Amino acid sequence: MLEDLTPMYDTVNTCKAIERVREHPDSNEKDVELIQQYLDDPKWGNYALATALAKKGIRVHKDSIIRHREKRCPCWRR
C-alpha cells in the first residue's frame, strides 16, 4: 500500500530562505550572497528579516530563518 510514497520536496540541501530568494523572478546571484550575509548578521532579527523580505515580495517564515541560524536547516547537513 505504501510503496509509491514520495517526499513532497527534496530536503537534502534545501534552505527555505535561500531557496525563496532564488525562486524570485527578479533575484540574481548577488541577492543570494546578500541573503546569506543577512542570515549571518545578528543585527537582523528573525521577524525583521522576514518582514523586510516580504516587502520585496519574498515570503520566508521567521521559523525558517530561526532554523537556519540554529543550524537545524537542511543546508547545514551538507
Query: Which domain, by its residues, includes 57?
Result: 16-77
Domain-located, residue 33 = yes
- Per-residue DSSP letters for the chain? --TT---SS--SS--HHHHHHHHSTT--HHHHHHHHHHHH-TTS-HHHHHHHHHHTT----HHHHHHHHTT-SGGGG-
Q: What is the pTM of this model?
A: 0.79
pLDDT for residue 24: 95
pLDDT for residue 13: 66
Domain-located, residue 11 = no
Domain-located, residue 4 = no
Give how many domains the chain has, as a whole number. 1
Domain-located, residue 24 = yes
Domain-located, residue 40 = yes
Domain-located, residue 68 = yes
pLDDT for residue 51: 98
Residue 30: which residues within 8 A CB-CB, separation 6 or more? none
Residue 18 · residue 75 · CB < 8 Å:
yes
Domain-located, residue 58 = yes
pLDDT tens series, the chain, 78 aa: 888 877 665 555 678 999 999 999 999 999 999 999 999 999 999 999 999 999 999 999 999 999 999 999 888 775
CA angle 48/38/70 to nearest 5° reads 85
